[in-house]
Structure 1
Amino acid sequence: MRISRIVLGAALACAAAGVHAVPVVLSAAGPNAAAIQATVDAFRASLGALNPNVVGSFGSGRREINWDGVPNAFSAPNNLPGNFFNANSPRGVELSTPGTGLQVSANAGVAPVEFGNIDANYPDIFAPFSAQRLFTALGSNITDVRFFTPGSANASLTNGFGVVFSDVDLAGTTAIEFFDATDQSLGNFFVPQALGNETFSFLGVRFSEGSVISRARITSGNQVLAPGNTLTDLVVMDDFIYGEPIPEPSTLLLLMLAMAAALDVRGRRSLS
């Protein structure tokens, strides 16, 4: 029947929405926080107003993680649970790495700052964009970010994601790759370099079609933080900025497919 074909077509259109996603890229780099501040603020404005860290989806606006409110018990020299920003502080993000763990740097007076607990030289290499904590994966330069309806296990999508990095020395190395709900790549985008220590770089990508990002993979430099390792290119992260996670359209898609099937059956019966 024509109606069922329309419903089925709409469902398939929903499923394929991410295929035609067009990225809008904002990036900047420089010797201090002021050099990237305007670009960071422009990306924030493109996503909308900052939402509170509560359970559920607001449907629009943005969320942020600056690491500074993480309790000392989950900061260096201790590791950060990957679900902290979905369970403990509901912001709809869960983190993982193929390495050995995740870590947020310590507050002054608690442990050496800026990952000085790993190597005493690191506080002279890295600097925080929003004082005073930073974030890194351990045992790997890869961090995976998945989006959920805040405070739930329901996979969700976001329309944009950006990260502040410290000490990106090489071009074409540090990057963020985005994936849609079917785990198809939406593109790999490189972070601009900023020569010297304690520098800052920012990359933010927003997709004009709306919420199509299911997960992001961050590649931070080409080195892994470890005692005695001060080789180029060691990179850590600060602020995460992203659009409000909204539920994936899978439930709607299944409903529309069921409607299409029911209409098809009804149409066949009426013709028999």
Structure 2
Amino acid sequence: MNTKFIFIFLSFSFLTACASATPAAPTPKVVSGAGDITAVVEEYRNLLGADNGGEPVSPGTGRREINWDSLPDELAAPNDYAADLFNAATAPRARGIVLNTEAGAVLQVSADADNASGALPRFGHLNPSYAETFKTFSAERLFSPVGSNIVEATFFVPGTQTPALVRGFGAVYTDVDTEHTAFEYFDKDGQSLGQFAAPLSNNGLSFLGVAFDEPIVARVRITYGTVKLGPDDSSENDVAVMDNFIYGEPVAVSP
């Protein structure tokens, strides 16, 4: 066989393989801890930058946060949470995040101690034991899907419907008993940027935050425990919910 032909064929095959290979996902910085998580939460906040609050103006850098605690009773359990509540056009809820769960399930923010409906706090209206099991990082409301243990977070330029990217996303978990995937990050093309698990803290608090060098995260898939809320927390059923969300400033997706 003609050696020149062989060389050209092998060269073409090599270039084709290189062109079709999926680029490796960027390596992010991971900040995590369990128990007293105050220091790691502050570390992650500082990593992302200044808190931009809930204003519908984006400086292009910094971070946004949600702690759930300012919500009135009518927007908390036993009532359901609106997916786009923190993607409002006006302050203080122009924070550029939309949260969804699986079909047939809903989202809820837990009741506070003196709510008019008499619902037990910390999702005790679903199972009275949860009021003792779940702890808070910032008192006193928590967040969870109900009827599922999956939440999808997507991002928008605050105050708009323009899709956005963030540098990273982190959150406080309460009562993580078993190892499981907590967050999976995706880019604008739907490619996974990696899966990351939260540290264990039975009846306590955990924090997991992941940050990339540039805003490349379009979506985060969040897993809450191993089962949906309802059963008693046990070695067979790890129920977990979340407190504070902390994420990079949403910036518009480049064409």
TM-score, length-scaled by structure 1: 0.79
After superposition, residues 112-131 of structure 1 pair within 5 angstroms as 112-131=120-139
Paired position in structure 1 for 2:167: 159
**Quick check: 1:204 aligned with 2:205?**
no
**Deviation at residue 163 of structure 1 after TM alignment:** 0.7
How many equivalent residue pairs? 224
Q: Give the distance between the partners of 2:253 and 2:26, measured in 1 at CA.
A: 15
Letter in structure 1 aligned against 2:105: T
RMSD: 1.4
Paired position in structure 1 for 2:254: 249
**Deviation at residue 230 of structure 1 after TM alignment:** 3.4
Paired position in structure 2 for 1:224: 228
Paired position in structure 1 for 2:26: 21
**Quick check: 1:140 aligned with 2:148?**
yes
Superimposed CA distance per residue, residues 152-189 of structure 1 (whole angstroms, 9 cap, x where no aligned partner)? 11100000110100000012x14100000111000000
**Quick check: 1:168 aligned with 2:176?**
yes
Superimposed CA distance per residue, residues 27-49 of structure 1 (whole angstroms, 9 cap, x where no aligned partner)? 1012xxxx111011000000001
Please state which structure has a larger fraction of its residues in helix. Answer: 1
Q: Give the distance between the partners of 1:75 and 1:235, measured in 2 at CA.
A: 18
Contact preservation (8 Å) 1:161, 1:205? yes
Paired position in structure 1 for 2:46: 45
The 3-state SS of whatever aligns with 1:52 is: coil
**Quick check: 1:179 aligned with 2:162?**
no
The 3-state SS of whatever aligns with 1:73 is: helix
> Any unmatched runs of 5+ in structure 2?
1-22
The 3-state SS of whatever aligns with 2:228 is: coil
Superimposed CA distance per residue, residues 88-117 of structure 1 (whole angstroms, 9 cap, x where no aligned partner)? 711000000015100000111113100111
Contact preservation (8 Å) 1:164, 1:240? yes
Letter in structure 1 aligned against 2:156: F
Cα gap change, 1:20 to 1:225, in 2 (>3 Å): closer
Q: Give the distance between the partners of 2:217 and 2:81, measured in 1 at CA.
A: 24
The 3-state SS of whatever aligns with 1:84 is: coil
Superimposed CA distance per residue, residues 184-233 of structure 1 (whole angstroms, 9 cap, x where no aligned partner)? 000000111113x2x0111000002x10000100011101112x543430
* Greater RCO structure (CA 8 Å; 6+ sep): 1
User: Sequence identity, in percent?
Assistant: 46
**Deviation at residue 52 of structure 1 after TM alignment:** 2.3
> Any unmatched runs of 5+ in structure 1?
1-17, 251-272
Q: Give the distance between the partners of 2:76 and 2:197, measured in 1 at CA.
A: 28
Contact preservation (8 Å) 2:173, 2:207? yes
Letter in structure 2 aligned against 1:214: A
Cα gap change, 1:174 to 1:128, in 2 (>3 Å): farther
Letter in structure 1 aligned against 2:162: N
After superposition, residues 67-78 of structure 1 pair within 5 angstroms as 67-78=68-79
Q: Give the distance between the partners of 2:138 and 2:211, measured in 1 at CA.
A: 22
**Deviation at residue 20 of structure 1 after TM alignment:** 4.4
